């Protein structure tokens, strides 16, 4: 695949960002997401009752969260009951994109809080449920790879037809790999003109090592958008503190 040299996409205004999302999309873009929805039906094993699909990429700014939002919307629009989960517990963005509060969210479930699924229902579509990140924890990778995470996903999958999990980039942190054994498969987003071949090779090597199913690749061809290197830099900061609050509760059953 010939990928152009990486360059930083121009920043989008909040109004422009909304134009890249769900019902605000132009016809051609919505058509591509509908095609992705159809393709996923062929790549997800037929016996899986509720596919749990992770969305990742090699680096930040390639369009993972945009893809997760739009894919979950087209699935909901098709009549499936869909849960969109913000699994980027370092720089969450789903709450902001969806105009909902970021707490309570996934981290609350992971520390043992009870959940009220009805309160996650989106105002945009009756089949669409949004679970934001919750408070940012000090140990995202540990949380995403925990037994508790597996329990949470198992219980949630009883209530939905699809679960879409927005994840951080593979080349920066191990979070997407940590959750990989609990999901049905992964969608890899590649942003043309931004993802370098070296980045993509490294990402694919990591993904192969984890043995996760690759359900498909999305070529996000836009030359525009904000990749925010300042945010990307945050991944490089080490998080040395540890809070008791986010201790994993592996043994505890998760019930709704
Ligand atoms: N196809 C696209 N066209 C225009 N802007 C896009 C497109 N895909 C993503 N963007 C913009 O690029 C930025 C990064 O996208 P995002 O989905 O948040 O990336 P990631 O989750 O991979 O970090 C956002 O401002 C988003 O609105
Ligand atoms: Mg994102």
Cα distances from 251 to residues 24, 111, 138, 146, 200, in angstroms, run: 43, 11, 20, 10, 37
Question: Using CA atoms, how far apart are residues 83 and 9, in angstroms rounded to an integer?
Answer: 29
For the question of whether the overall pTM of this predicted structure is more than 0.85, the answer is yes
Best mutation site among 225, 226, 230, 235 for ligand 1 pocket (most ligand atoms within 8 Å of CB): 225
pLDDT at 4: 54
Give the distance (Å) from ligand 2 centre to CA of residue 194: 15
Tokens for 164?
């879409």
10 Å Cβ neighbour count for 247?
16
Q: How far is CA 196 from the centre of its chain?
A: 21
Give the distance (Å) from ligand 1 centre to CA of residue 21: 9
Q: Which atom of ligand 1 is nearest to the CA of 91?
A: 23
Confidence of residue 11 (pLDDT cuts 50, 70, 90): confident
pLDDT at 3: 55
Are residues 163 and 32 in contact, defined by beta-carbon separation less than 8 angstroms?
no
Confidence of residue 23 (pLDDT cuts 50, 70, 90): confident
Residue 252 confidence (pLDDT) above 50: no
Residue 195 near ligand 1, beta carbon < 6 Å: no
Q: Which atom of ligand 1 is nearest to the CA of 59?
A: 22
pLDDT at 206: 93
Closest listed residue to residue 228, CA positions, set 129, 123, 96:
96
Tokens for 150?
């597996």
Are residues 117 and 220 in contact, defined by beta-carbon separation less than 8 angstroms?
no
pLDDT at 193: 85
Are residues 91 and 234 in contact, defined by beta-carbon separation less than 8 angstroms?
yes
pLDDT at 120: 97
Residue nearest to atom 12 of ligand 1 (CA): 225
pLDDT at 165: 98
| Interval 45-62 mean pLDDT | 96
- Angle of helix 64-77 versus helix 27-43 axis, rounded to 10: 80
pLDDT in tens, 171-219: 999 999 999 999 999 999 999 888 999 999 999 999 999 999 999 999 9
Tokens for 229?
């290197």
Q: Percentage of the chain surpassing pLDDT 70?
A: 83
Question: Using CA atoms, how far apart are residues 224 and 203, in angstroms rounded to an integer?
Answer: 22
Residue nearest to atom 5 of ligand 1 (CA): 225
Residue 62 near ligand 1, beta carbon < 6 Å: yes
Residue 63 confidence (pLDDT) above 70: yes
Question: Using CA atoms, how far apart are residues 109 and 207, in angstroms rounded to an integer?
Answer: 27
* CATH H-level, domain 14-225: superfamily: P-loop containing nucleotide triphosphate hydrolases (3.40.50.300)
Confidence of residue 67 (pLDDT cuts 50, 70, 90): very high
Residue 20 near ligand 1, beta carbon < 6 Å: yes
Question: Using CA atoms, how far apart are residues 132 and 103, in angstroms rounded to an integer?
Answer: 7
Residue 220 near ligand 1, beta carbon < 6 Å: yes
pLDDT at 225: 38
- Work out the mean pLDDT of the chain and round it to a whole number: 85
For residue 104, whether the previous peptide bond is cis, meaning omega lies within 30 degrees of 0, is yes
Residue nearest to atom 14 of ligand 1 (CA): 61
pLDDT in tens, 71-101: 999 999 999 999 999 999 999 999 999 999 9
pLDDT in tens, 135-171: 999 999 999 999 999 999 999 999 999 999 999 999 9
Residue nearest to atom 9 of ligand 1 (CA): 63
pLDDT at 184: 97
pLDDT at 226: 34
Residue 86 near ligand 1, beta carbon < 6 Å: no
Q: Is 54 left (phi over 0), alpha (psi -120 to 50) or beta?
A: beta
pLDDT at 254: 52
Residue 17 near ligand 1, beta carbon < 6 Å: yes
Extents of the domains making up the chain: 14-225
């Amino acid at each position: 695949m010939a990928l152009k040299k990486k360059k930083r996409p121009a920043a989008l205004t909040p109004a422009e960002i909304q134009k890249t999302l769900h019902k605000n999309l132009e016809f051609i873009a919505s058509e591509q997401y509908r095609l992705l929805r159809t393709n996923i039906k062929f790549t997800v094993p037929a016996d899986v009752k509720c596919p749990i699909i992770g969305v990742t990429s090699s680096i930040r700014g390639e369009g993972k969260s945009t893809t997760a939002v739009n894919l979950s919307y087209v699935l909901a629009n098709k009549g499936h009951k869909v849960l969109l989960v913000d699994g980027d517990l370092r720089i969450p963005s789903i709450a902001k994109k969806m105009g909902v509060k970021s707490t309570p969210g996934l981290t609350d479930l992971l520390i043992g809080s009870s959940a009220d699924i009805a309160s996650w229902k989106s105002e945009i579509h009756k089949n669409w449920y949004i679970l934001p990140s919750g408070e940012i924890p000090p140990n995202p990778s540990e949380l995403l790879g925990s037994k508790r995470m597996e329990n949470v996903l198992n219980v949630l999958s009883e209530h939905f037809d699809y679960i879409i999990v927005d994840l951080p980039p593979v080349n920066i942190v191990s979070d997407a790999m940590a959750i990989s054994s609990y999901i049905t498969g992964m969608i890899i987003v590649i942003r043309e003109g931004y993802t370098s071949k070296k980045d993509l090779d490294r990402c694919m090597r990591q993904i192969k090592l984890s043995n996760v199913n690759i359900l498909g690749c999305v070529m996000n061809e836009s030359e525009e958008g904000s990749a925010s290197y300042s945010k990307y830099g945050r991944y490089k900061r080490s998080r040395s503190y540890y809070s008791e609050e986010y201790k994993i509760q592996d043994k505890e059953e998760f019930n709704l």
